[in-house]
Amino acid sequence: MSRSGRTGLLALVAILLVLPLPLTPNLVNAAIKMMIAGLFALSFSLAMGQAGMLSFGHSAYYGLGAFATLHLMKAVEGHLVAWPTPLLPLAGAAVGLFFGLVFGWLATQRTGVYFAMVTLALAELLFTLAPTWNSVFGGESGISTMRMNSWAIDFATDTGVYYLTLAWVALSTWCLWAFTRTPMGRLALAVRENEHRVRFLGFNTHGARTVIFAISTMFTGVAGALLAIANEATNYTIFSAQASANVVLQTFIGGAGTFFGPALGAAIMTFFARVTSDLTRSWLLYQGLVFVLVMLFVPDGIGGLISLHARRLRATAVRHLTLPYLLCLVVGLLLLAGVVFTVESVHVVLSDAYAVLRRGNGGALVPYTLFGRKFDPVSPWTWAIPVGSIAAGAALLPLARRLTRRGWSQALLETTA
Amino acid sequence: MEFLVVSVLNGVVHGLLLFMVSAGLTLIFGMMGVLNFAHAWFYMLGAYVGFTLSRTVGFWAGLIAAPIIAGAGGMLVERYMLRRVHKYGHAHELLLTFGLAFIIEEVIKLFYGDFPVNYAMPPYMKFSAFTIYDTNYPFYRLFMGIVALAMFAVLYVVLTRTRVGIIVRAATYRPVMVEALGHNLPMVFMGVFAAGAALAGLAGAVAGAFFPTGPNMAVDFGTLVFVVVVVGGLGSLEGALVASLMIGLFISFSVGFNWSLSDVLGLVGLGDWARGVGGLLTLQLSTIAASMPFLLMLLVLLIRPAGLFGDRQ
Amino acid sequence: MRKFWVALALAGAGCWATGTAEAEPVKIAIIETLSGGQAAVGKMFLTAINYGLIKLNNEKVWPDGIKVLEYDNQGGPSEAADKMKAAINDGAHIIIQGASSAIGGQITDDVRKHNLRNPGKEIIYFNVGAEAMEFTGSRCHFYHFRWNGNAEIRLRALLTAMKDANALGKKVYVIGQNYSWGHDVQRLVKEYSAFGGYTVVGDVIHDVNKIQDFAPYVAKIKEANPDTVITGNWSSDLLLLMKAAGDSGLKVRFGTYWMDQPGNVANAGATAIGHYNVSSYYPEANGTATAQFADDFKAKMGQYPVFVQGHTVHGIWGLGEALKKMKPGPDGKVNVKQLALAMETVSFNTSMGEVAMRKEDHQVLLPLVVATVSKEAKYKVDGTDMGFKPVRLVSGKDAASPVQSTCKMERPGS
């Protein structure tokens, strides 16, 4: 890794170590969830990004890891077994590895889209069977238990859980990264590029893919275990196709081609969901828009974008891009403001509360409240805001693109000069 | 005997409904390799268009407008979104359609609310076609079956007997060659996608009057459609029909059976032990009837991934 | 100049003497499903809670008012747990939730664990919708209060009314969804066969929200030839079942729990007429009293109260009653333990009758009304020409089910 990459990493670790101190328990919990999502995405990306195996049912191993850990925690709580809390994720890892080997052996007999469908089928089967098997999966309300303190560390508060999660996520990330440096990791890349050739070189590709898949699911199991420790409960909805699809999306938004991209995507989208779900009722619409826009315009993901800059430009050359990017940001904000205003206005105008207001005024279209101000739905000025905003953004877009292109060529010129 | 006849009838009609919804997807998937996750959402769009028009203009206007609007939507999606993303691979296409599904659902919810809406068939269609063993069979079910069969017939004729159909089928196997022969391949793709979406829209308009039309209607169908397409064979129309019928009949019959693994084990004397263990072994077939298609999909994928009728690996 | 300092000193002394009442509003956190598949139901709870709070704020039951915080649990237990931590961070004293038993299960356990780990900073879980038996059974705890019904009390009311109206018959079939709720209802229908004077001629469980075509299940029901079919199904499972039954001309009476979910009657159409439903409120249940409630609700919130909104409003009023019995502590703060103690003995009158909280398991004794879908109802639903015509009002005490033996509530040492 380059020197700047290494310093960046050290800085990140340092920040993560001291993060709980200034934050409220609520935000510490958010950080824990973001780290777990990041680990889930990183483990998924091992199968996907490295080995080209698009798995659509990774939530199965996430859930299995969580349930296994919860059962172990229950045993500890009931004094049947003495198992230190910090070592609980090992249960998740073991279960993830086991099922990864079994299901992976089945699934890796096929490639490409068929592989994805097999993993989807396996996960869906688990999802439909889990609520019926009450002794293992606890039915609708799932399994619930309590963390026990261990090794003189207090796990009753979120801070203890945070450091436990941080330790395991760091360890798993290092393992995953180290894996890419091993011959097997390199083999994964080769299998992705040209499986036929690898087979003719004498490797057992089916076995290799199974092992790689199992290692990926092992760390997914660890992520599931960490979720179980953080939430102290889970139920069968963890197996849903929604959860599987979420991790795929997070990986691609972050950038499947880079190592840290998926973790970044997972952290951002988890945070995004958490924040916007309380700000607006239409947050799923915005999330869908983010998915579509990222897929269309940033196919390498955010991580890919960052990596593009890091790889091709020298640090000083970036200054050519500050102005164009600033303009791009302005354009983006204008377009966003227009869209958000329209969506939220429609939402308010079609709501029941507004209907009450209208009835109180004899059915007239009275002004509605949005963002703390009043807007008149029939006045052209009201609609001038979003229309003007979007028009301004659209008008500035060609300029922004031109400037960006020019900035890039200048920056590249400086770098290669 | 009664159980047999009624189950067959129910199964066939349910299967035909499934075919109606998945016909479009098998074309798109087989032809373009695009796993259009949003397919069931075009279905939902069609249902809501049908609902809107049935309240203002008329039921039949809805049936005509729904495929047109869904098809137009499909055309726009293919031209401006999928075509851009195509070069990045299958995963990107799939995720794009996934995001699209969210957008369609949320926009519909924004305008129509969160509750199911009252999309009803016209009163003159609300009668029972015949009575069999004391059970009435609603005419509208037959109507849906007829529409599904008509869809199949039209598609089959177009694909096998017309020039357009030949080009489309050729493009499935040798797209580059077709383009080299001078055909406008991107237009063909766009047409296929639009046709697929239009079929889903028509299915929505027809089925939505019978089944509840609400924000959750797409999610309920979403994954089952994939099962049909995979089991039938990607790109094969006959395969989709046979697979839909199979699944419809299977679900229909398995509801009637209270068998579980413990009953099977009982045949070899391990019944009581199995019942004592509980859990999966005492799970009755009727309880998990709707989950069986996934098992079927799994088996097909492992044994014969090309599906029943597909021959494209 | 000296006068100024004297005045200041006196003012200061005066302030200090009246006590530094750094008072605190009661903070209620609504952690509800406001997006995604179940959003419709979640939003109904929200509307009802806001309506209930209007009365509380008008009567000033708490000197510093009641503050409402809204959180979207995104439909998942894990996210609900996150939002609960956010709510605790924002100082919430009470968590309200109703739209899902799974999420309710997560919240009730998290509340219990939080209270164990943070004595002195307890919070209350105000359950307005989770109806699984275990909440006042194996999962009961002191800081959980259930203001809605459960599978058993609703069944008691339904059976009582149907039996009295001679609509129950002697043969009953039960069909349900394959999870704890469906299993609860199935078990209870079998247990209550003596109470209702019927035999259970068959039962079947099916996948939740996966079946599109209920015709095969209708065929099964027909084979068993029951008089009545009882089902705890909700949403599309209920709707499709009824449509399939209506289409095939199956002549049975349905006894349901959730027919009044908005959209069901509209979609079922004439098929729904004549079937029985048990609910916590209907506008015509109790003459002018309930009608007035309906009209006032409509005036303020834009729609007539439906489905779960009746008992939710009553639950909020119950909170008001508990708050009336208390005063802010010397530091002006809300003493949640005292609030819980006050809440568990609350009893007050509503348009539906007396609503009282039971101390032993914190299950509310909820008056219920059983009605049939009929064109003769005055208040129509779903924009159709049908409504729910009450058949019988069952008081809270009559509907009440015995305290479950699995509830071992640990009371705090007062």
Inform me whether the C-beta atom of residue A139 falls under 8 Å from chain C C-beta atoms.
Answer: yes
Contact A350 B98 (CB under 8 A): no
**CA-CA distance, B275 to B272, in Å (whole number)?**
5
Average pLDDT over residues A380-394: 88
User: Is CATH 1.10.3470 correct for B2-258?
Assistant: yes
Q: Of B135, B217, B254, B292, which to mutate for an interface test with C (greatest number of C Cβ within 10 Å)?
A: B135
According to the per-residue pLDDT averaged within each range, which of A314-318, B123-127, B158-162, C6-10 is highest? B158-162
Contact C39 B114 (CB under 8 A): yes
More confident residue, C231 or B7: C231
Q: Of C31, C134, C179, C187, which to mutate for an interface test with A (greatest number of A Cβ within 10 Å)?
A: C179
ipTM for the assembly: 0.87
Query: Where do the H-state alpha helices sit in chain B?
Result: 2-32, 39-56, 59-77, 83-85, 90-112, 139-161, 163-173, 175-180, 185-208, 217-232, 237-255, 261-266, 271-277, 292-303
Which residues are registered as beta bridge partners of C380? Answer: C387
Contact B287 C178 (CB under 8 A): yes
pLDDT of C20 reads 46
pLDDT of B277 reads 63
Average pLDDT over residues C88-112: 92
| CB-CB neighbors (< 8 A) of A284 in chain C | 35-36
| CB-CB neighbors (< 8 A) of B88 in chain A | 299
Query: Where do the H-state alpha helices sit in C210-308?
Result: 215-224, 235-247, 264-268, 287-301
pLDDT at B272 over 80: no
Q: Which domains does chain C have, with CATH numbers?
A: 26-149+289-365 (3.40.50.2300), 152-279+367-399 (3.40.50.2300)
| CB-CB neighbors (< 8 A) of A233 in chain C | 77, 81, 105-106, 109-110
In this predicted structure, which of A26-30, A89-93, C16-20, C164-168 has the lowest mean pLDDT?
C16-20
Instruction: Tell me how close the Cα of B263 comes to any Cα of chain A, in angstroms.
Output: 17
More confident residue, C12 or A255: A255
Average pLDDT over residues C62-86: 90
pLDDT of C14 reads 47
Instruction: Tell me how close the Cα of A296 comes to any Cα of chain B, in angstroms.
Output: 6
Residues 6 or more apart from A293 whose CB is under 8 A from it? none
Q: Which helix (H) or strand (E) holds C312?
A: helix C309-324
pLDDT at B308 over 70: yes
pLDDT at A95 over 90: yes
CA quadruple A46, A47, A49, A55: dihedral sign: negative
pLDDT of C15 reads 45
Q: Is the Cβ–Cβ distance between A389 and A334 less than 8 Å?
A: yes
Q: Tell me how far CA of residue C26 lies from CA of B200, C57, C320, C339, C340, in angstroms.
A: 52, 11, 11, 10, 13
Q: Look up tokens 């015949």; give the residue.
A: B130
pLDDT of C186 reads 93
Q: Tell me how far CA of residue A27 lies from CA of A21, A33, C237, C383, in angstroms.
A: 11, 10, 39, 45
Question: Which 3 state secondary structure label does DSSP give C368?
Answer: strand
Average pLDDT over residues C358-365: 92
**CA-CA distance, B211 to C264, in Å (whole number)?**
12
Average pLDDT over residues A398-402: 90
Contact C210 A128 (CB under 8 A): yes
**CA-CA distance, A172 to A259, in Å (whole number)?**
13
Q: Is the Cβ–Cβ distance between A194 and A237 less than 8 Å?
A: no
Express each pLDDT in A157-170 by its tens digit: 888 899 999 999 99
pLDDT of C17 reads 45
Average pLDDT over residues B185-197: 91
Contact B136 C249 (CB under 8 A): yes
Query: Side chain identity at C358, as an amino acid letter?
Result: R
Average pLDDT over residues A375-393: 86
pLDDT of B65 reads 94
CA quadruple C329, C332, C333, C339: dihedral sign: positive
Q: Mean pLDDT for chain A?
A: 88
**CA-CA distance, C24 to C10, in Å (whole number)?**
27
Express each pLDDT in A140-186 by its tens digit: 778 888 888 877 777 888 888 999 999 999 999 999 999 988 998 88
pLDDT of B259 reads 67
Contact A132 B283 (CB under 8 A): yes
Residues of A (50-109) whose Cβ lies below 8 Å from C? none
Instruction: Tell me how close the Cα of B184 comes to any Cα of chain C, in angstroms.
Output: 40
Interface of C with B (CB under 8 A): 37, 39-40, 43, 178, 204-207, 209-213, 215-220, 222-223, 235-236, 239-240, 243, 247-250, 262-264, 266-267, 269, 382-384
Question: Which 3 state secondary structure label does DSSP give B166?
Answer: helix
Express each pLDDT in A98-130 by its tens digit: 999 999 998 888 888 788 888 988 998 888 888
pLDDT at B289 over 80: no
Most distant pair of Cα atoms in chain C: their distance: 100
pLDDT of C22 reads 58
Average pLDDT over residues B69-92: 90
Express each pLDDT in A282-335 by its tens digit: 899 999 999 999 989 888 889 888 888 888 877 777 788 888 888 999 999 999
CB pairs under 8 A between A and B: 119
For chain A, how big is the Rg over CA atoms in Å? 25
Q: What is the pTM for the complete model shown?
A: 0.89
Domain borders along chain B are 2-258
pLDDT of A1 reads 57
Q: DSSP states of C394-413 as a string?
A: E-HHHHPPPPPTT--PPPP-
Confidence of residue C1 (pLDDT cuts 50, 70, 90): low
Q: Is the Cβ–Cβ distance between B231 and B260 less than 8 Å?
A: no
Average pLDDT over residues B24-41: 84
pLDDT at C168 over 60: yes
pLDDT of A36 reads 96
pLDDT at B258 over 70: no
Instruction: Tell me how close the Cα of A105 comes to any Cα of chain C, in angstroms.
Output: 29
Determine how many CB atoms are found less than 10 A away from the CB of residue C27: 17
Contact A296 B298 (CB under 8 A): no
pLDDT at C18 over 50: no
Can you read off the two tokens belonging to residue C342?
């006050």
| CB-CB neighbors (< 8 A) of B81 in chain A | 292, 296
| CB-CB neighbors (< 8 A) of A347 in chain B | 110
Query: Side chain identity at C120, as an amino acid letter?
Result: G
Instruction: Tell me how close the Cα of C180 comes to any Cα of chain A, in angstroms.
Output: 6
Using the CB atoms, write b or e for A396-410: b if 16+ within 10 Å: bbeebeebbeebbee
pLDDT of B274 reads 67
Q: Is the Cβ–Cβ distance between A377 and A351 less than 8 Å?
A: no
pLDDT of B3 reads 73
Confidence of residue A85 (pLDDT cuts 50, 70, 90): confident
Q: Which residue of A has its CA nearest to C88?
A: A26
| CB-CB neighbors (< 8 A) of B10 in chain C | 213, 215-216, 219
Of B84, B103, B111, the CB nearest to A288: B103
pLDDT of C362 reads 93
Of B107, B111, B301, the CB nearest to A110: B301
Q: Which residue of A has its CA nearest to C181?
A: A140
Contact C208 A235 (CB under 8 A): no
Q: Tell me how far CA of residue B86 lies from CA of B78, B79, B186, in angstroms.
A: 10, 11, 12
**CA-CA distance, C313 to C281, in Å (whole number)?**
10
